Structures are given as structure tokens and as C-alpha cells.
Structure 1
């Protein structure tokens, strides 16, 4: 015979099941109730909550401290001698949230309470990322916006929106060229440079020095491929522009990957791979001729052995194409924070100051592959590089701005309990068939994990490998971007400009205002 309590539990379960189609929150409630009733142990309790957080006064005190901190942060209207611009490619707000949780969990804590280095900056805002002709952007039109201050067409670099895709003549017309933070810093007598974990000719750093109607024109071979019978030597590829055209040829420091774009096919690069150029030109030799006193390095040991005081310019290329993910990198590859440290030590020699662009470019690649184990690890390395820059500079004369070019459609979903492994299943919630789902999911990607009937399969126990591909909804070979606003974080002179909802192309003008460079309004005025 049923006892009264057992009968009541059974009736509750029947009521929940009967109302399953009427309440949009019903299945979460039902799954939680089922877990509680069946004694499975999957109960949302306080076991993972730090003891001090159980006291309401903890939250009152933390709110009070945050208010005091904000009240104590007044406007900093000093002139920015130096500007350091950090760009996390594809670093959506959800990527930042997940990375902060992973950081805390790696430290042995629940994770949600953690912070990345730049989340401690006093001013934050949002950046609107659309292109002139695209609702969801790529890394080229966004690069043109945040380095040159003009929104342009998708796939375009360093030219205005009047230039159409693949139009060589228009993109080579000086009338359509845009100037950038690189130009403005150089004109003011400042040192300039950039760092990326992608190729030196990749879209993000190139928006400030290249002028092309197709971001894929990285080498002359690429230009030939995309123009076909319309190819002309008048159409200068991105690698050549970096070495021979202003402002690229005037950059004092360049670091990243992509050696193949600078060497002819007849040469083998430092990593045992043949070059990519069809024209037979060795652009690395040209760089060395153009930069007396400059030093070329291709591994961490060489970079760390640089005599900073005697070196006049630095070119570091550490892979044939993209640099490796941090998790998979060899000992020969410097980390982003190590490159940042070298750059600041070197650029700091100029008494007029410097501008440097530093990109964590492989966050994007991890998200494109639906591998949050990779993208979050890259985000944490990016955060370390920002922390390095903060420790090496002063807020009195150095403006540091951190943002992303665009977002990715990765979501943190369901009702996972506090401290739930961010790179695992959601242990509390199930779908309508009683199958767990991962806490992180992508809108589009290569694997939906469906059975022969189109139903989701159970993934419990399959996570753990950093390269595990997380589930997605739409089946595509490669993950896509999303049109969300991205975060902007600022610390240093004129940090208070970087607040509210901003157009992405306003960012370089704000940096120029703080540093008194460029042709626009300046703080010095």
C-alpha cells in the first residue's frame, strides 16, 4: 500500500506532466522535480556556494564596495602618451562569461565569481559591429572600423564603402585609401606596431595598413586566384603593402604568423614549409634592407635574446601560417603575453610614446570550430596579456582599450547548478526525451549529435578533451559569426569616453582624441 507521502509525490508528477504543453518553463521544473523525487542526487542545493556568500550581508557589503570604487574613479584627462589596443577576435560577451567561469574553476573555485583582467577596468561600453552592407560582420570591415574609423563593406580592408568587392582599380586608387591609428601615431612621432596570433596579413591587423577590396588578397598568389583572368600586377597584395607601402613599411614592431605569404614558392621557410608567392619575391629580405638595425626573429628563444636597446625595429614571424593554439603550441612559439612584454619594452624607448595593436586572434578560430575548450583557453591567455600590459604601464599616461571585432553565437543555457563544469554537460537539465545537453552550445556548426531518427544522443561522459566539438543547431561545416554588440573596456587617460553603446568606428577616434593624434578633435585642443 502507498504511504501518503509517496501518493502525494506521484500526484505531483502527474500534474507536472499534464501541464507540460502549457507552461514554457515546465520541462525544467519537471526535470528538476524528477531528479528530486527519484533521489538521483541532482538537486540544486548550496553545496557549491562559498560559505560567506550564504550571508545576505556579504552581498550588501560587496555592493557597497563597488559603489565606493566607482565614486572614487574620476575622469582622467591626462594626455595619453601611449595607447595599447587589445582585440579579442570573436570574443563575444558569452565567451568572456564562460572564460571567467573556467578561470575560477581552474583555480579550484565554483568559477562564476571570477574576473578576467580587463573586467576590472573602470569604464565599459558596448560596440555596434555591423558593416555598411552586412548585418553580421566579418573581421575585415570591423578592422577598418576600429583602426581607420570608417565603417565599410564586408571583406574590405582600409577602403571606404564606395569600393566594391574584388574591384582592384578602385581599391588601388589613393583617393579611396583610409588613414588609420598607425598613420596618425607615426605622423606624431610615436612608435607603432602590432602583434597577432594569426597571420601578419590576416584581416584584423591589416585594416590599419592595407587597402584592398578583398581581404583574401594576402599574397600575389591569392590575388591571382581571386581575380583570375582579370589579374594585374597593379593590384598589390597585403603582404607587399605591409613591407613596401605606408604605413606598414614604417611600423617599428610586427609579430605574428604567416611567413609563407612573404616568401616565394621556391624557398623553404624557417618551419620547413614552402613559401606561397608566385612572383618570386622575398619580402623578408626586402624588410631587412629597408630596416637597417632591424632584427628578424622566428622563435621564442631569438625573441627573448633581443638586445632591446640596440634594436631599431623588430619583425617576428613564428609560424608558416597561423600560430598554434596556446594549448597546442610548441616551446618555440612565444605566448601572447611574452610578445606583449617584448613589445612594450621595445616601444617604450620612444620618448614620444607609442601605439600598438595586440590581437588574440585564435579565440575566433576556436569558436568557428565549436571548440570552447580552445576558445576559452585562448581568452584566458588574452587576459594574461592584458594583465601584463597593465603591470608594465601607468594609468597616468597609458590608455589601454580592450574590445572584440564581432561576436559568435555560443550560448550558456539551461539551469546548471553553481560550479557546474562549464566545459561539460548541464547536469540538472534535460530535453523532452530525458537527454542531457551541454552547458555551452552553438547556433551553427559541424556536429549536432543526432541519432538515425534525428533525436539528440546522450553526451554524458564524452566531454573532457580540449578539442571536443560542442553541439550546434544548424549544420554547417564551420561555425559562423553573430551580430551581437561586443564589450569595450578602458583604463587610463580619457577612459570615460568608452561608455554606453558606441559605433565601432568611433573607437579609434576616441583613442586619437586621448593621445592628441590624427586630424580629429584632440584632448590637447
Structure 2
């Protein structure tokens, strides 16, 4: 018996030895898998766009290792998508963007200025007057889809009025104008983002809306120990209850609608009989997945929200467009909480798996996974293979103090871990003085700022389904919306527009021939 166990262990050890033959065999398997893929040039009846807010390439690498508990060969669901490109993330007036400007690029196909949403570069930050000009408004992929008769939805782990989702339905010169309380008196004739979502098109025709942000929708909202008021965000004081307004609108239009506020209520939604669903699960952002109350009275997970959204939207025979944001990746990075950020990517990856399983590979559904911008997270040398990605990389050869594998270029006072000792020398804090593997550990930062700031690097875009092969190089971020439009034949790429463009081309050719004949004779 002992001999059999010994031989088994030896065989396993030999099989795991990463010699030359191991890598040749691995390459053969990858080649065989790649050669099986055929281009899908069909029509995208449905489109699902996943946005990992702040999920740069280093975040993806670290999350992959985190998911595999130190296994560098682990794969995220979207790692296995057959088509990948890179996106340039600068905005109209900054090399390093914010999420409102990048969401406008990703979801409307137009680059714009820092901290504005749903308008083009003619609208400067805080310019209420310019934002009222419809000539400067952008249309999102949800508006294109609605005009084509498709159903639409978005789910997010942030407030539903936050920067990324706001570009889907609002036209605002300032992303923080989520409710009236943060707007200056001179902008009183502009609508806040929450009202635009509930009162205007395309917001009022979005079939599924899920996330946080109750305090932006309902005036004088109160907090609890488990769902406090978000002091970073707007809190409405104008007496409006926009959730009630949403419900009354759906009743007046004779639609079956539901408002849900807990995981249990979401689970009990009759998707077959529900036309419109509004899920508002927190005053501010939803809690991190690690901290989430997973009982019936807590908020749902991103994968549960995604699953329900697909079930409701897929009833439309003309198809749907759904946007899913893993927004707390960015929130965690801003706080310098790398482990929370990686765990949020892992949760978004589970939501991607739900989408793939619900729609099938190479189907009539185009699935895109990307990010709006990077963060300054770095993976430093030289941890051993199989080491925890939230562990130590080694000791500095200069100060002899250990350092973690993950660090940030910028960070707040909790991450800027330098002190001056009795010899008046700057000393870096030893990570061994804290639990550096915990969710609440702030990775060390090189430069003290108010928070960890965005990075300006390119982000990856992963795609599978109809026209996914259109992502094949380094693209402008605006390209994503145009691929969605082209693949689904919506917006500027609708059949009608294509027909007119073809007719114009034929007319131009005819005129050209006539001119040649006239010149000859």
C-alpha cells in the first residue's frame, strides 16, 4: 500500500515537472484549442458588456493568481475568450481619465472631457448651459438598442447614478451632480443625474436597473448600521421620491413592474411576468463581496443580479443589450485595498461565467469584457512561484525591510507608510507589523495623495460571439460602442442607415461615371 502511494506521488511529481516537453505539450493544447475557433460573422441579437471599473492589466494578472490561490496558470473566464484587443483610455482633456469620461467613450462611442458624462467635448466641466444643448448630447448603446426595439438593462455594484452608469442615460457636465444637493444654485435649471434616470429617455425605458444609490433617489433617506448613508456621495433633500415616481410611471403605462431591496426579494421576482425591475439595495454603493450580508435580507451578489437581468431581458424576441459593472474594483483600488479589488474581480468573473452559461458560446450573443481605466497597482519582483499574490515578495536590498508583491504608486495616509526615526532618517514601515494578507490591509504607496489615483495605461478588451473578431489590435476606447452597434445593427449601423449609405455610394458612383462621359465628349 505504501509503495503504491509512493509511486503515485512520484508519478504526479514527474507529471508536474515543467521541463521542455511540458511546455511543448501545453502549446500543442493551446494550438488545438485555437484552431477549433471559427469566426462568428452573424448578427448579434444580444449584447452583454462587462466593465471592470479600474481593472487594468496588472489587476487582471493579480486576480488570476488570487483566484488560483497562487497558481499562475489559473484562468479567469474571460481569459478564454478567443478575441482580445487593447484600448487607449485618455480622455479629451486629460492623459489619465475618470470613469465618467471613459464610460462616455466606451458606451457612447465619443471621447469627452474629464468628469462629464453623456456629452461631447463641447461641454466643459460644470458648464450647465452647454450641457442643455442637444447638439452636444451623445447617445448610448442602450438608446440605440431601444430605438431598434430591443430591451435594455444595467446592473452595477455602485450607485445607479454613479459615473459609469450615468453615461448610459444622462447628459451631465459634472458626474457628482447625482442629486440636487451637490448642484450649485447657478445650475438649478439643469437636471441632476437621478432625475434624468427616472424622468427622461432613455432612462425611463430601461427595463432592468440594479445597484445602490437610494439616497440619491429618495429624499432624506436614513442610514442604519448595516446600510449607512454614503458620506462620499450626494444625499437628496428636495422632497422627491424617485423610486415612487418610477413605479407610478410603469403603472400609468400599464407595465408589470417590481421594486426590490433585498436578495430574497430579488430571488422571488417572477421573471416571466415582470416587464420592468428596479433593484436598489443600498443607500450608497453596495458592500464589498467579502463584507456582503449573504443572508436573505442582505444585498444580492453581482452574479445573481446578472442572472436575473438576463432572464428578464431575454424574453424580447428582438434581443437585448445589457451592461454589467463591477464598480467596487475601482472603489477598493482608490482606498489602496488590493485584496478587496482582486476579490471583486473574482466576483465579476463569476458573473461573466453566468452570462456565458446562460447564452452559450459562439451563440447570437456578443459578450465583451473590458475596463474603463487602469490603477497604479504594481506587481513587484521577485516572489516565488506559487506564492500568495497578497503576500511578501522579498526583502529590499537597501533598507532590508520586507515588501509586499502588490503596491501602489499613489495612496492616502493609510498607505503612505513612511516615518522619520530618531536619527532623522525616513523609514518605511515593516509589513510584518500588520496582517498584510487581510482584506483591510492598505498596500504601501510611494506618493502621498488623497487616495490612490487612476493610471493612464491601456486596458484589455476580451470578446466572444458575433463579430468578436473585430477586436484585434490597439483601438481607441470609443471603438467598443461602434463594434456593439455594428454587430447588433443598431444606432448608426442599423439596417436603414446601411441601406441609405449603400444607396448614397451607388449614386456617387453613377454621378462619377456621368462626369467621365461628359468630359470625354
TM-score norm. by structure 2 comes to 0.87
1:121 to 2:81 alignment: yes
Report the RMSD for the aligned CA atoms in angstroms.
Answer: 2.0
Which residue of the partner structure matches residue 363 of structure 1?
A: 329
Which residue of the partner structure matches residue 498 of structure 1?
A: 471
Which residue of the partner structure matches residue 469 of structure 1?
A: 442
Q: 1:79 touches 1:524 (CA, 8 Å); kept in 2? A: no
Which of residues 40, 43, 54 is equivalent to 2:18?
54
Which residue of the partner structure matches residue 319 of structure 1?
A: 282
2-structure distance, mates of 1:521, 1:57:
51
1-structure distance, mates of 2:431, 2:220:
45
Which residue of the partner structure matches residue 238 of structure 2?
A: 279
Alignment of 1:373-412 (within 5 A): 373-394=339-360, 395-412=362-379
Q: 1:266 touches 1:280 (CA, 8 Å); kept in 2? A: no
Which of residues 339, 347, 350 is equivalent to 2:305?
339
Q: 2:48 touches 2:367 (CA, 8 Å); kept in 1? A: yes
Deviations 1:426-468 (A, max 9, x none): 13x4231211111111000122322322122322363122110
Q: 1:341 touches 1:389 (CA, 8 Å); kept in 2? A: yes
Which of residues 227, 231, 245 is equivalent to 2:187?
231
Which residue of the partner structure matches residue 432 of structure 2?
A: 460
1:425 to 2:388 alignment: no
| 2:284 counterpart SS class | coil
Alignment of 1:163-242 (within 5 A): 163-223=123-183, 227-228=184-185, 230-232=186-188, 234-242=189-197
- C-alpha displacement of 1:277: 2.1
The verdict on how the C-alpha distance between 1:311 and 1:476 changes in structure 2, with shifts beyond 3 A counting, is same
Q: 2:131 touches 2:172 (CA, 8 Å); kept in 1? A: yes
2-structure distance, mates of 1:466, 1:163:
40
2-structure distance, mates of 1:53, 1:266:
59
2-structure distance, mates of 1:279, 1:206:
20
- C-alpha displacement of 1:51: 4.7
1-structure distance, mates of 2:68, 2:380:
19
- C-alpha displacement of 1:499: 1.7
1:130 to 2:96 alignment: no
1-structure distance, mates of 2:79, 2:429:
37
| 2:71 counterpart SS class | coil
1:435 to 2:401 alignment: yes
- C-alpha displacement of 1:268: 7.5
Bigger drift between 277-286 and 487-496 goes to 277-286
**Runs ≥4 in structure 1, deviation > 6 angstroms?**
266-270, 521-525
1:159 to 2:119 alignment: yes
Q: 2:209 touches 2:278 (CA, 8 Å); kept in 1? A: yes
2-structure distance, mates of 1:267, 1:281:
14
Q: 1:406 touches 1:486 (CA, 8 Å); kept in 2? A: yes
Which residue of the partner structure matches residue 513 of structure 1?
A: 486
- C-alpha displacement of 1:272: 7.5
1:290 to 2:249 alignment: yes
| 1:327 counterpart SS class | coil
- C-alpha displacement of 1:281: 1.3
2-structure distance, mates of 1:249, 1:479:
35
Q: 2:223 touches 2:283 (CA, 8 Å); kept in 1? A: no
Which of residues 26, 42, 46 is equivalent to 1:78?
42
1-structure distance, mates of 2:27, 2:179:
53
